[in-house]
Amino acid sequence: MRVAALIVAAGKGERAGGATPKQFQMLGGKPVLRWSVEALRGVPGGLQSLVIVSNDPERTRAIAPDALIAPGGQTRMESVQAGLAALAGDPPDVVLIHDAARPGLDLLTLDRLLDALTTAPATAPFAPGADSLRRIDPEGRLIDCPPRDALVRVQTPQAFSYAAIVAAYAAWPSGRVAADDLEVAHAFGLPARLVLGSSRLAKITHPEDFAVLESLLAPAPLVPRMGFGVDAHRFGPGDHVTLCGVRIPHDAGLLGHSDADAAWHALTDAILGALGEGDIGDHFPPTDPQWRGVASEVFLQHAGSLVAARGGRIVNVDVTLICERPKIKPHREAMRAETARVLDIPLSAVSVKATTTEEMGFTGRREGIAAQAVASVLCPA
């Protein structure tokens, strides 16, 4: 499916205040228009072309250098038609028609729209919300109370089969004003299926809307989380042990299903613990033969990727080995470096240390090695 996007950014935006039209004013560190440009570029499968209808080509080109720029018309409808005409040379299958004044476009909404287009030639997002809708007259007097279930507030981008919306606009009686492109499509008889939009897609109309949008679009605050992990492996035949991914010569090896790296197992559990994601055995069941003999780097890297997938990051980790032998200290810096590499965090964020148990207990009797680890992560609340 060849997808084009058309952003209407030709309005003067007088109600939003300021000498600069609202689509070029700053919001959360970038011009309002740039938010939509960046979001639409992320459309699944990529964007074939982007048209921006604008009466300020200089500012528009600075925001989207590779966009086609079409001059705006007297009305929004004329502007949309100018944008559609700019796509006629290389017509897409589908066009997303979006208002620059709605900067909070997200991938989930784009996904839903493109999915809806597989079953209908027209679609639009509707605003979530539980407010009742009432019909009033211009003086604010209540006319009636239509049932809430069947009424929605419609947002943009509205998406259409390109050929169908071009035909719908061609058939629209000149001089009549449509509230949006969906109305034009509907009048032409195009079936439409609406999908859930987002409260982030609210429109900037008045000066105070900038503050509202700024808080809606601000990244979620990160909150600290802690996790703790413990592991132990028994000595067996062998000539080395692997701890924090470092091969350490020894007069015994460690027994285990994988490479028996107790340090990274404890650390993996600490990170999973910080996320509330169970333990290493949930993610890599020891009964599953595919993990036999596997390097524990795979486990640790998986835990790190879960943090990243949540939009979080690891602040620091601290691993303590508990054993009489081998001596850990000569290998400590290599162990830190390996851990930092696998988790893709700074060396300064990794601590590795060791202790003995004064010859008490199983580690004191040199039956095996134990490890404990803590991890601190920041994740969106």
Kindly list the residues in this chain that would bind Mg ion in the complex (CB under 5 A).
231, 265
- Closest contact distance (angstroms) between CB of 299 and Mg ion is 9
Q: Which residue minimizes CB distance to Mg ion?
A: 265
Alpha carbon of residue 256 to chain centroid? 38
Angle 35-58-97 from CA coordinates, rounded to 5°: 45
Angle 128-21-176 from CA coordinates, rounded to 5°: 65
- Closest contact distance (angstroms) between CB of 236 and Mg ion is 14
- Closest contact distance (angstroms) between CB of 213 and Mg ion is 49
Q: Which is nearer to Mg ion, 105 or 243 (CB)?
A: 243
Within 8 A by CB and 6+ apart from 308, the residues are: none
- Closest contact distance (angstroms) between CB of 280 and Mg ion is 7
- Closest contact distance (angstroms) between CB of 274 and Mg ion is 18
Q: Which two tokens stand for residue 276?
A: 């509330």
3-state class (DSSP) for residue 145: coil
Q: Which is nearer to Mg ion, 99 or 231 (CB)?
A: 231
- Closest contact distance (angstroms) between CB of 67 and Mg ion is 54
Residue 81, phi then psi, degrees to nearest 5: -65, -35
Q: Which is nearer to Mg ion, 231 or 297 (CB)?
A: 231
Q: Which is nearer to Mg ion, 225 or 265 (CB)?
A: 265
Within 8 A by CB and 6+ apart from 170, the residues are: none
Q: Which is nearer to Mg ion, 231 or 277 (CB)?
A: 231
Strand ranges in the chain using DSSP code E only, listed in sequence order: 3-8, 26-27, 30-31, 49-53, 68-70, 94-99, 122-123, 125-126, 135-136, 142-144, 158-161, 195-196, 222-236, 240-243, 246-249, 253-254, 313-322, 350-355, 368-380
Q: Which is nearer to Mg ion, 25 or 258 (CB)?
A: 258
